[in-house]
């Protein structure tokens, strides 16, 4: 009976927290998510019931927190679909405040969405992306989210829309478009890079973000050049070994023959990358063993190892590395990051006067 009472008390607190948050601007209300996450006495089913119950009694700010909390319950497609049902009407409401529609667009681009939830989110986002009359900032946010949850075809639509922002006469929209291209991992276009290069020296949040993206790109280019050099050296070694060995004893004859065929017959050989071929060969060998074996590149392994050993930072938040920048995965209730209003997905570019990149 005591357990049931504790569950009821926690459910009541969910309602009280959301009602209180609903009175605040959305940028302030996000801080209440930490208080919801700290209600660990609630079972998953009880939390779902509490969120759905209060969701009908709060305004758009409270509903956005309900949608975010539903996504936090797990990567089950059911929760994602329910979160989409809550956030989509806010995105579609032309009378809603822009900051609320932007927040809804961002939620609908959550990578944990799968199945029907992902499809409904993509449809809502695409409707605004392809509407030239949409508010530019909202259209750009929708394009970024569509790139995350869309199909191959709709991702291309999203990417093209973002690229078009580089040709805007509005400098702010050019900057936002350039940053968006880097955010979706396609910032190698000369137009986007030149805009960020103009920004990176500025002592502003945008300047620091631009510098972080460019430094990440430069380090990636250095690593890629080194990997290509190592792959080239490996292939040279293989060719020398091939010349010195007989066909009957060559265990890698098939691989070498395939490599020669790619060089001579593949129509897109100008796109050939040695390191990609080596990685694909390694991946194929391991995947052929059994369903439990797989190959990870050094970058994938680093991310995998980091995810297994997430760190609780002195700022009062769990963080991980994303694009070589510290990203908050969860602020801890009552900690410095929580009190400062930091949210999951926020990047830390500077702390106590110290740059966190480079």
Among the residue ranges 10-19, 36-45, 117-126, 171-180, the one predicted with the least confidence is: 36-45
**Average pLDDT of the chain to the nearest whole number:** 80
Segment 14-23, tens digit of pLDDT: 889 999 999 9
Give me the long-range contacts of 139-145 (CB less than 8 A, separation at least 24). 140/165, 140/173, 140/176, 140/177, 140/180, 141/102, 141/105, 141/106, 142/91, 142/105, 143/180, 144/109, 144/180, 144/183, 144/184, 145/105, 145/106, 145/108, 145/109, 145/121
2 falls in which pLDDT band (50, 70, 90)?
very low
The pTM (predicted TM-score) of the whole model is: 0.62
Q: Is the pLDDT assigned to residue 100 strictly greater than 90? A: yes
């Amino acid at each position: 009976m005591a357990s049931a009472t504790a569950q009821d008390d926690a459910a009541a607190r969910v309602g009280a927290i959301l009602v209180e948050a609903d009175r605040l601007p959305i940028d302030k209300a996000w801080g209440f998510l930490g208080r919801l996450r700290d209600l660990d006495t609630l079972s998953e089913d009880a939390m779902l019931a509490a969120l759905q119950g209060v969701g009908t009694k709060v305004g758009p700010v409270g509903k956005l927190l309900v949608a975010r909390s539903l996504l936090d319950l797990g990567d089950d497609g059911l929760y994602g679909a329910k979160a989409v049902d809550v956030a989509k009407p806010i995105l579609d409401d032309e009378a809603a405040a822009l900051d609320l529609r932007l927040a809804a667009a961002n939620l609908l681009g959550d990578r944990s969405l799968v199945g029907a939830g992902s499809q409904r989110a993509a449809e809502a986002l695409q409707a605004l992306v392809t509407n030239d009359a949409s508010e530019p900032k909202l259209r750009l946010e929708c394009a970024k989210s569509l790139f995350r949850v869309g199909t191959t075809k709709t991702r291309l639509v999203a990417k093209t829309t973002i690229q078009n922002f580089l040709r805007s006469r509005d400098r702010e929209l050019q900057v936002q478009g350039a940053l968006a291209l880097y955010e979706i991992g396609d910032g190698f276009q000369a137009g986007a890079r030149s805009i960020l290069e103009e920004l990176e020296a500025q002592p502003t949040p945008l300047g620091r973000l631009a510098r972080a993206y460019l430094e990440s790109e430069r380090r990636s280019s250095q690593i890629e050049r080194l990997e290509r050099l190592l792959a080239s050296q490996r292939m040279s070694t293989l060719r020398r070994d091939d010349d010195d060995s007989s066909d009957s004893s060559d265990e890698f004859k098939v691989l070498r023959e395939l490599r020669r065929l790619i060089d001579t017959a593949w129509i897109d050989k100008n796109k050939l990358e040695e390191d990609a071929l080596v990685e694909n060969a390694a991946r194929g060998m391991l995947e052929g063993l059994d369903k439990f074996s797989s190959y990870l590149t050094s970058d994938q392994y680093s991310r995998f190892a980091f995810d297994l050993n997430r760190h609780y930072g002195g700022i009062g938040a769990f963080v991980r590395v994303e694009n070589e920048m510290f990203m908050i995965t969860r602020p801890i209730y009552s900690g410095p990051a929580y009190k400062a209003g930091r949210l999951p997905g926020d990047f830390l570019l500077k702390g106590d006067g110290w740059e966190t990149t480079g």
